[in-house]
Every structure is written in C-alpha cells, then in structure tokens.
Amino acid sequence: MEVVLAKILVVDDDIHITNLITRFLRQKQYLVEYANDGQKARDIFKHFHPDLVILDINLPDTLGYNLCAEMQENNDVFVLMLTSRTDVEDKKKGFSTGADDYLTKPFDLEELEFRIQAILRRRRIIKSVGGETLDFGDLVINPETREVKVKTQSITLTSLEFDLLYFLASNPNRVWSREDLVNNVWQSNPMGDNRVVDVHIGQIRRKIELDSEATRHISTVRGVGYKFEIENS
C-alpha cells in the first residue's frame, strides 16, 4: 500500500531556522517546502497544498497572523505558530486567527515533531469517529468533506474550529469541561491555559449561529464548560 507523506510548509524570516527545520523534517520522511517571506509563502502554498504550515509571526512583508487567516480562509490546513513572542495575548491572537498550536523559540526539534504528529493525528481521529454527516436541520456537518452548512449556505471554519464543532456535535447534550475539550480535540494543552477553548467557541458561534444574541447550538454551562444542544424528540 502506498504511504501518503504529510506535506509541510515552513515559513520563517530566519533562513538558518528554515534550513534546520527543513532538513530535520525531511529526515523524518515529511515532504517539506520553505519560504522566508509572506509572498513566497503564498506562492508555494497555492501549488504545494500543504497539510500543515509552520509559521513565524514576524515576517519582512507581513505578519504571520494575517498569513494564517489568509491560508485558513478557503483551505483545510493546519497551522503551527513558531515565534519568539511569549506573551499570552500574542498566543491568543494566533489561535483566534486559526492557529492549531503555538511553539516559542528557542525550541527543541523533537518537541516540534511531537506537536506536528499530534496536530496531524486529529484529522485521522475525526474521520474515524464513524464519518457520518450530522444533520440538525439548519446546521449540517460533513466530516468526509469537512464542510459545514447553515441553512444550505457553506460556512468556512478553520481546521481546529471544525474539529471542535464536530466533537461537540458528535456528543450532543453532554457537558464538556474546557480541560476535556483540550484533551480530546487538541490532545495536548497548547498554551497551558484552557481558556483558549473560549476563543474558539466564540469564533464558531459567530459563524454558525443565526442569531448571535441567542445561541441555539453551543451553550455555556457556567462553572463547567460547554455542550452542543439538540432537542430530544
């Protein structure tokens, strides 16, 4: 059986870092391309179609936040932010623009690979949960095509937003703590701060709720976490 290798795009303004990561990941049998600025990254992204982008925030011609949002807009791609910025607010901004994980410099190459493996594993887990389309009338979630429709209109979610929504919707009317959601969707705590879940729940709600003032699908259970609600027939 043919082995499909994961494709990774490394984007960093430091050519020494891109060379280091590229050599390391190629030795680990990944298909790797790299860029040292935003424009080259966009060009490679269009024809390479990576499964994962390792992305620095400080680029000579753009911010990694902007590039992350662009890449997530119409593509089902994972993004791992790799940066020297350690402030919690910087991390939250990265996650709110679609990042799946966040690693600060200086970093260990083995840890980088562990995080890559954890991120790429999520897609396999989601597809192995039965793979059935979830239809809630006004909201339809298809795990095979990773499409979400609200009243027949396609909604663009980032990879992480889709995984989180599908996990909640696959377990309706069950309350999940933030820690539970991190353990089941992230498989590791990307920030050491479970409030990152709140950021992504807020993003999902803005995209799928017909009335932002009255959430129908994902409700907050005060002091505990969240649940996906459906009416019992």
Which tens digit of pLDDT belongs to each residue from 22-69?
A: 999 999 999 999 999 999 999 999 999 999 999 999 999 999 989 988
Please report, rounded to a whole number, the percentage of residues in the chain having pLDDT higher than 70.
85
Mean pLDDT of the chain: 84
pLDDT at position 160 is 82
pLDDT for res 118 = 82
**CATH no. for 129-228:** 1.10.10.10
- Any idea where the domains of the chain sit in the sequence? 7-121, 129-228
pLDDT given for residue 128 in this prediction = 47
| pLDDT at 193 > cutoff 80 | no
pLDDT higher than 90, residue 17:
yes
Tell me, what's the pLDDT at 132? 81
136-150: average pLDDT: 88
Higher pLDDT, 157 or 24: 24
Give the residue, 7 or 2, on which the prediction is more confident: 7
The class (CATH top level) of 7-121 is alpha beta
pTM strictly above 0.75? no
pLDDT tens-digit readout, 65-116: 899 888 887 677 889 998 887 777 777 777 777 788 888 888 999 999 988 9
Q: What is the CA radius of gyration of the chain?
A: 18
